[in-house]
Chains A and B, each alone.
Chain A
Amino acid sequence: MTDNVITYSHADRPVFFTRDEIGWAPWLEPAAESELTAHQREGLIDEGRVKSPYFRLLARDPDILGARTRTDKDIFYNPDAGLPRAERELVAAATSRVNGCIFCASVHARFAATYSKRADDVQKLLDEGVDADLGARWNAVIGAAASLTKTPSSFGEAEIAELRAAGLDDLAISDAIHASAFFNWANRLMLSLGEPTAPTG
């Protein structure tokens, strides 16, 4: 079989950062749901993900998908101390804002708004970018994500001093580093293997 790319002519493709629920369409053929092997299903981890073209595309290499997903879940969902969930999501949104992943930013801006109850500030991050003034603590957290997201990274002493001044301990700083690093992983997959699509319904 010759492999091909899939192209679309979405006139309504999202072209700005939003907290709306938008979709995503793959540029390469995902594994067919009816043909998923046991190994591929294992890589998906959550049974519900068989419905997702993104995860079925990644299921073509199941072992790295499974390890990716378990890394993701612990960085974002482990409730034991460290950076509060709202700010882990804020880091994910800020990282996605810097890299330019409209889809990833939409999902994690929604989570950040829900957990922090600061929807207006999250929206300001999306509208104005990572230089928006959102108060000392969020400025420090967003600044750390932005500097770590540069290639080469410019994250160092100054960013850590800001995080300490904002009250972050070792574990919270490590959580911020991991959340940003993880979205440098996720953004690159989401951005390069497909495109965002208009809100459904």
Chain B
Amino acid sequence: MSNASPDIIDELVAIAPGSRLDAVRRKRNDARDNAQKSYLALFEPAFPGNVTAEERFAVAAFVAGLHDQPETAAHYRTEFAARTTRPGLLEAVDAEIRNGATSGPYGHYPAGPLSREDKAGPIFRTASEHSEILSPRLAAALEHVHFLVFRPRDASPKALQALLDAGWSTTDIVTLSQLVAFLSFQIRVVAGLRALSAEISAEASPRLAAAAN
């Protein structure tokens, strides 16, 4: 049961039971429970299909590294390190995170009035020296992931065709897309609640000091 595993967002934000933020999260208990169930559905799936644990955590380490949110990045890197069986893969993904670092969102709108808002930016390709260690399947995934993280408005059927060509089935692509999209959510909840937590502590400490007097 999900009760057996500690709540991952609470862990990454460092929310203590009984704290103000704990109370806030429990006012939206279904969202709290289902954010956790989403995490488990993607990272401890009852029906994993063709997407391996190593692939899931490689993608997660890459996504979290690109978002540069330290707690989440450390969590997924540790989980990936514990699961990867390919020598050198962890270091290759670390290097790809450094190669892929940029800021988004950028990209192009369909031609028309929004074209004036088009914003150019890097099109990420994995390094050729990693092609063997990554395999075509994982290399295609990381290239797709980078697009989905930073320039989702550049979407096209061609991007999906590249995944199909690299051995991802339609169902695998749905799982991969959910992985990246869910992480885009989870990382922002953690970043947002950490900022709120910091503000609450800063506000509370002078008051506590005053109360102690």
Interface residues on B, range: 35 or more
Does chain B have a CB within 8 A of A177? yes
- Are B35's CB and A151's CB within 8 A? no
State A28–B28 Cα separation when bound (angstroms). Answer: 34
State A58–B37 Cα separation when bound (angstroms). Answer: 16
Does chain B have a CB within 8 A of A52? no
Give the residue name and chain of the B residue nearest to A5 (CB): B157
The residue among B103, B111, B113, B174 with the most chain A CB atoms within 10 A of its own CB is B174
Given contacts A151-B150, A177-B193, A192-B160, 11 further A-B contacts (CB under 8 A): A28-B170, A61-B175, A64-B182, A75-B28, A99-B153, A100-B152, A151-B66, A152-B67, A161-B199, A184-B185, A191-B153
- Are B157's CB and A185's CB within 8 A? no
Chain A contact residues: helix, strand, loop or mixed: helix
Chain B residues positioned under 8 Å from A49 (CB to CB)? none
The segment out of A106-114, A116-124, A135-143, A167-175 that lies at the interface is: A167-175
Does chain A have a CB within 8 A of B20? yes
Chain A residues positioned under 8 Å from B188 (CB to CB)? 148-149, 153, 155, 177, 180-181, 184
Q: Give how many A-B residue pairs fall within 8 Å (CB-CB).
A: 215
- Are A192's CB and B192's CB within 8 A? no
Checking A28, A188, A195 against B174 with a beta-carbon cut-off of 8 angstroms, the contacting residue is A28
Give the residue name and chain of the B residue nearest to A98 (CB): B105
Does chain A have a CB within 8 A of B84? no
Does chain B have a CB within 8 A of A115? no
Chain B residues positioned under 8 Å from A181 (CB to CB)? 184-186, 188-189, 192
Chain A: residues with CB nearer than 8 A to chain B? Answer: 3-7, 13, 15-17, 27-29, 39, 57-58, 60-61, 63-68, 70-71, 73-75, 78, 80-82, 98-101, 129, 148-153, 155-157, 159-161, 164, 170-171, 173-175, 177-178, 180-182, 184-189, 191-193, 195
- Are B189's CB and A192's CB within 8 A? no
Min CB gap B62→A, angstroms: 13
Min CB gap B110→A, angstroms: 5
Checking A57, A74, A173, A188 against B181 with a beta-carbon cut-off of 8 angstroms, the contacting residue is A188
- Are A170's CB and B114's CB within 8 A? no
